[in-house]
Amino acid sequence: MKRTPALAVLSILLGSIAAVDAQAGVPPAVGDAQLPSLSPMIKRVSPAIVNVATRGTIKQRGEASGQNPLLEDPFFRRFFNAPPGGGGAPRDRPFQSAGSGVIFDAKSGYIVTNAHVIENASEITVTLQDGRDLKAEVVGSDELSDIAVLKVASGNLVQMPLGDSSHLEVGDFVVAIGNPFGLQHTVTSGIVSGLSRSGINPDGIEDFIQTDASINPGNSGGALVNLRGELIGINSAILSGNGGGNIGIGFAIPVNMAHSVMDQLLKYGSVKRGLLGVNTYPVRPDIAQALGLKDIQGALVTQVIEGSAAAKAGIQAGDIITSINEHPVKSPPELRNMIQMLRVGDRVNVELLRDGKPRRLTALIADPAAVESGPAESPTIHKALEGATIADAPNGAGALVRDVAANSPAAQAGLRENDIIVGVNRAKVASLAQLRERAGKATGSLVLEVRRGTTSLLIPLR
C-alpha cells in the first residue's frame, strides 16, 4: 500500500519515539522534527477559565425532604382524603455546587457561564487559576440559551480570545477546559462531532456543537477552544450512561450565540426575543425535487401568521427562506435560532426563493405578545381545564399552558406548566382558538394530545 508523505513522516516519528529508552521519557524533538504539543496554547488560555462555586437554598418536597412521595400524587390524595398541598409545605434545603466560567472581558470583569450553574445561588465565588477567590454578582441570566453573565472586581485578569463558531466544521480539533468533579483546570481534547444539534433541551434555544472531548459534571460553563486558542463554545451538557459520566457525547453553546446573549444582558438586563411569525418545514430531497430546486437547504414556509412581522414584510406560504441578515439558513432550527437572537424592533433582511426566483425582503421583528391572541387567559373550555392559564404557543405550535394552579382540576388531570396542547380527540390544535373550537365540538370526554419536552402523551379529561 502506498503511503502519503504525511503518513510516512508520522511512521518515522513513531518509530523513532519507540526506539527511545522508556526511562528517558518522550524527547521534545526527534532529529529536526519537533513533536506536536498543545501545551503552549493551553498555558496561554488557561488563566481565562475559572471555577464557579455557588451556595443557596432550594424548595423541596417529597422523598428527598423525608416525606412520602405518594402524597405528591393528586389521585392518591383524593382517594385517601389527604389534605391539599401534596406532601406538606416545601422545605428549604441548602445546596452548594461548582461549575466553570470563561473571562470574556478582563477590563470590566465580565465572566460568562451557564445559567444552570448559578441557578438559585445566593452566593457565588469565582476562583482564578492563580488561586485568588473573588466574589461575583449576577449581571443577567437567560435560561432559554443557558447563558449567564457574572461580574467580578477587575484587575490582573486574562480574557479569552474569541473565535467565530460559524466557521466550524465537523472534524475540527477542539479542546475542552474546565473543572470536572472539582479537578481544576482539566484539559481534554477531541473533535467537533456534529453541528447545529437540537432536541437536547426542547424548551430552550438549541444550536449545539457536539464534541467527543470529555465533558463531565463541573465542566458546565467552561471553554471549548480551537487549536489557535480561540473560544468557540461554552460547554453546557452531556449525554451520559447510567453512571452519569462522559460517554463521548458532549454539547457546547456556540460562542457567537453566547456573545450575542451577553451583549443583550449587559445592555438591557434581559433578552427580549422577537418573532418573525412563520411555520416552516425542512427542504428535504423530495421537496427540493418537487419544487425544482438544486440546493437542498433552507426553511420552507408552510404558514404565515396573520398580523406578524413576516406577513407585513410580504413573506408567503411556499417561500423558501435561504438567508437572514446575509447568514445562510440551512434548516428551520437555524432560522428559529437566528430570529430568537434578535430583539423586538430589529430590522432583518430576509432572502428567499419564490417560484424558484430569489427575492429580498425586510421585516421588522415583532413582539410575540402583539402577534399572539393577546394576553394569556383562563377560558372556560372544559371544566377539567379550570385552573390552567392558556395562551397561543409561539409560531402556531399549539396552545401553551403557562400556569397551573395547585390542586385545581387542571392540575389533578395531569397538566403541567409549559405543556403544549397539540391535539383534541385526534384533531390537531395550532392555537388557543382552535383548542376552544375543538373542545366545544366534543360531546363527551376530551383526550388531549400534549407535547411535554421531547415526550408526547395523551391526557384524558372527564
| CB 233, CB 226: distance < 8 Å | no
H or E element that contains 252: strand 246-254
Query: Among residues 100, 145, 165, 220, which one is catalytic?
Result: 220
H or E element that contains 76: helix 74-79
Quote the CA–CA distance of 337 and 420 in Å, as a whole number.
20
Is residue 396 helix, strand or coil? helix
Quote the CA–CA distance of 102 and 231 in Å, as a whole number.
9
CA distances from 123 to 96, 134, 211, 265, 404 (A): 9, 11, 32, 20, 31
**What are residue 11's phi and psi, to 5 degrees?**
-65, -40
Query: Among residues 97, 141, 145, 146, which one is catalytic?
Result: 146
CA distances from 304 to 97, 112, 124, 275, 428 (A): 45, 36, 45, 12, 18
* Cell, residue 117: 450553574
Query: Among residues 100, 116, 141, 193, which one is catalytic?
Result: 116
Cα pseudo-dihedral 439, 442, 447, 452, rounded to 10? -20
* Cell, residue 84: 391539599
Annotation marks residue 116 as catalytic: yes
Residue spans of alpha helices (H) in 341-398? 368-371
| CB 403, CB 351: distance < 8 Å | no
Annotation marks residue 146 as catalytic: yes
Residue 159 CB contacts under 8 Å (≥ 6 apart), including other chains = 48, 103, 104, 105, 106, 107
Q: Which of 389, 383, 435 is nearest to 409 (CA)?
A: 383
Q: Catalogue the active-site residues.
A: 116, 146, 220
